[in-house]
Amino acid sequence: MQISLESTSGIERKLTITIPFADIDNEVKKRLQDLSRRVRLDGFRPGKVPMKVIKRRYGEGVRQEVLGEMMQSSFIESIQEQNLNPAGAPSVETLSDNDEGFTFVATFEIYPEIELNDFSSITVERPVADVQESDVDEMIETLRKQSITFADVDRAAETGDRITFDYDGTKDGESFEGGSEENSTLELGSGRMIPGFEDGLVGVSAGEERLLSLTFPEDYQAKDLAGQSVEFVCKVHKVAAPELPALNDEFFARFGVSEGGLEVFRTEVAKNMERELRQAVKNKVKNQVMDGLLKIHEVAVPAALTSQEIDRMREQAVKQFGGMKGGFDPRKLPAELFEADANKRVALGLLIGEVVKQRDINVDDERVRAMIEEMASAYLEPQQVIDWYYSNDEQLSQIKYVVLEEQVVDAILEAAQVSEQICSYQEAIRPAERAAETEEAEQGETS
């Protein structure tokens, strides 16, 4: 077997392999002879079929089978001999097939060699916050608002009230699609309807009819209505005011607190908030570390790995929106939607793997246990959750990988420039992108 290796780019390799004709021919003859002893053909006794008949009927198929197996085995032997680590399956092209041998070219990408740079240039701002009593008060009010009910009232509607009404929309005196509905419910101030609609119904009472003259926004999704003047005749049947639930045992029981009243409920709410705070801080630090890791390294990402990651992201997206149940094929989603994030994920995966290898990091089983117990503490039966993770190999493997990532983050933080940022609970748990947007808005207001 003859082998030649060519580096066509940083991570792309071309292997030209020639399998000698004699090797192929000998193996084909061997298989045909074996086949002649086993094959049954009309007109011939078992084991007595002439070889020329065997060759005519089975020769080409056997040769293709032999070539496929020899190509695979010779490729594996070649990459081992050349100490190559392919990042995906090769593309194969036949160059020649004659009396000298069979020559083919296998083109593939290898995993990049990564030289880790100094982590000291990575900067991280760690949020530092506490859960204050006022934060617990605000959270309890949020929980109450999420459990709000509405009761009919005999008064004019106010912002925040919910009305039950019929509406009939017309444009130039003609009804339009989607412009009418009976017994519709609408919370005034929710922003569900076009500008002016909800404001126009503030002050209306049950049994009243009101005419709204409005204009659809220029960027409205229905092009035939964008920027158009319309009228809505609205007839109100009911006005209902919001009622917050009382802080009583019935309310506490919805959140798993059956004894201890308000004091125990506040304690449980605070514990959940502290858990959320720890996770938010951990995520923000991790994201900064990962962004810093990418910033100080240039990684040649194999296309095959990016393609695999895109396929995973496609499936995740379809599952998230319930498309799997409907039989939607994830491959119909354009690859461009996921390409940038997929490249980033693959690059990070390669960098994390290199840190693990060079720092000889092994998964800390105690941290795995602690993480599972932390997650389980949010449930009514924590031990059942713990047992479930330890009996599910796939889920346990995912937790182990998360822990391994955290250990990599810790290793980088030892060398990185870390500062602390004193902030409120709300600022700490706010996602980084939203935090940046809020900061820009505040700067805009003061400028």
- Residue-wise pLDDT for 216-271, tens only, equals 999 999 999 999 999 999 999 999 999 999 999 999 999 989 899 999 999 999 99
Please tell me the predicted confidence (pLDDT) of residue 181: 95
Please tell me the predicted confidence (pLDDT) of residue 44: 77
Mean pLDDT of 162-172: 96
End-to-end CA distance of the chain: 74
Please tell me the predicted confidence (pLDDT) of residue 325: 63
Average pLDDT along the chain: 91
- How far apart are alpha carbons 426 and 446 in whole angstroms? 21
Whether 95 has a pLDDT exceeding 80, the answer reads: yes
pLDDT band at 92 (very low <50, low <70, confident <90, very high): very high
Among the ranges given (182-186, 298-302, 394-398, 439-443), the one the predictor scored with the smallest mean pLDDT: 439-443
Whether 206 has a pLDDT exceeding 60, the answer reads: yes
Whether 442 has a pLDDT exceeding 70, the answer reads: no
Which position has the higher pLDDT, 197 or 43? 197
pLDDT, tens digit (0-9, with 9 covering 90-100), for 327-374: 788 888 999 999 999 999 999 999 999 999 999 999 999 999 999 999
Report residue 389: phi and psi, to 5°. Answer: -60, -40
Please tell me the predicted confidence (pLDDT) of residue 323: 63
Closest CA to 206 of 159, 153, 242, 243: 153
HEC string for the chain: CEEEEEECCCCEEEEEEEEEHHHHHHHHHHHHHHHHHHCCCCCCCCCCCCHHHHHHHHHHHHHHHHHHHHHHHHHHHHHHHCCCCECCCCEEEEEEEECCEEEEEEEEEECCCCCCCCHHHCEEEEEECCCCHHHHHHHHHHHHHHCCEEEECCCCCCCCCEEEEEEEEEECCEEEEEEEEEEEEEECCCCCCCCCCCHHHCCCCCCCEEEEEEECCCCCCCCCCCCCEEEEEEEEEEEEEEECCCCCHHHHHCCCCCCCHHHHHHHHHHHHHHHHHHHHHHHHHHHHHHHHHHHCCCCCCCHHHHHHHHHHHHHHHHHHCCCCCCCCCHHHCCHHHCHHHHHHHHHHHHHHHHHHHHHCCCCCHHHHHHHHHHHHCCCCCHHHHHHHHHCCHHHHHHHHHHHHHHHHHHHHHCCCEEEEEECCHHHHHCCHHHHHHHHHHHHHHHC
- 163 Cα distance to chain centroid: 39
Please tell me the predicted confidence (pLDDT) of residue 447: 41
For 429, counting Cβ atoms within 10 Å of its Cβ (0-12 exposed, 13-18 middle, 19+ buried), the class is buried
Please tell me the predicted confidence (pLDDT) of residue 49: 73
pLDDT, tens digit (0-9, with 9 covering 90-100), for 49-72: 788 888 888 899 999 999 999 999
Contacts of 292 (CB under 8 A, 6+ apart): 119, 121, 122, 123, 124, 412, 416
Please tell me the predicted confidence (pLDDT) of residue 326: 65
Mean pLDDT of 318-333: 79
Whether 130 has a pLDDT exceeding 70, the answer reads: yes
Mean pLDDT of 21-39: 89
Whether 398 has a pLDDT exceeding 50, the answer reads: yes
Whether 183 has a pLDDT exceeding 70, the answer reads: yes
